Amino acid sequence: MSHSNSRANGLSEDPQLDNKVLDAIGRALKAHYDDLVRAPLPDKFLDLLADLDTEERIARSAGGHDATR
């Protein structure tokens, strides 16, 4: 069977989503993003940040190299 182009089978070459579909996708993505932003950070991540902060303070107080690089 040979390949037919999209015009031969009645399909548009550049398919577009309906504006209602695009709006629904946009609302769903925004709602999901808003949920992620409001979610608390996991304890494990907070522990890692605290450990990093401690290491930076130790390096600075020991006169070591610049820990901000």
pTM of the model: 0.45
**Residue 68 counted as domain residue:** no
pLDDT tens-digit profile of 27-61? 999 999 999 999 999 999 999 999 999 999 999 99
| Domain annotation covers residue 8 | no
Residue 31 belongs to some domain of the structure: yes
**What per-residue confidence (pLDDT) applies to 10?**
64
Q: How far apart are CA 10 and CA 17, in angstroms?
A: 16
Residue 37 covered by a domain: yes
DSSP per residue over 6-18, as a string? TTTTT--SS----
Domain-embedded: residue 69: no
Structural domain including 51 reads 19-61
How many domains is the chain partitioned into structurally?
A: 1
Does a structural domain hold residue 24? yes
